[in-house]
Amino acid sequence: MYYSRAELVDMGFKTLGENVFIDKRTPIDFPHKISLGNNIKIGSFCILSGNIVLKDNVLHMSKKYRSDSLNFYNAEMLWGR
């Protein structure tokens, strides 16, 4: 199950693109420091914490992303394209 758009907006992300899906089992620390682009899907095995920038078309990450300054750009697996 994923957070609804309204729930994501209420979390207060630094930026929040369109078509963003985050599993409800994903721990999210300091959302005001996290920027999310468009077409993002984040699975339950992630931890989001710190200054993170996820650009467009990031699909179902299953790794830990914790950093004070992490920029993760366009994953290899892009929405089946």
Structure confidence by residue, pLDDT tens digits, 22-71: 999 999 999 999 999 999 999 887 888 889 999 999 876 665 544 444 44
3-state SS, the chain, equals CECCHHHHHHHCCCEECCCEEEECCCCEECHHHEEECCCEEECCCCCEEEEEEECCCEEEECCCEEEEEEEECCCCCCCCC
Q: What is the pTM of this model?
A: 0.74
Query: At the top level of CATH, which class does the domain 5-72 belong to?
Result: mainly beta
Where are the domains positioned within the chain?
5-72
Q: How much is the pLDDT for 62?
A: 61
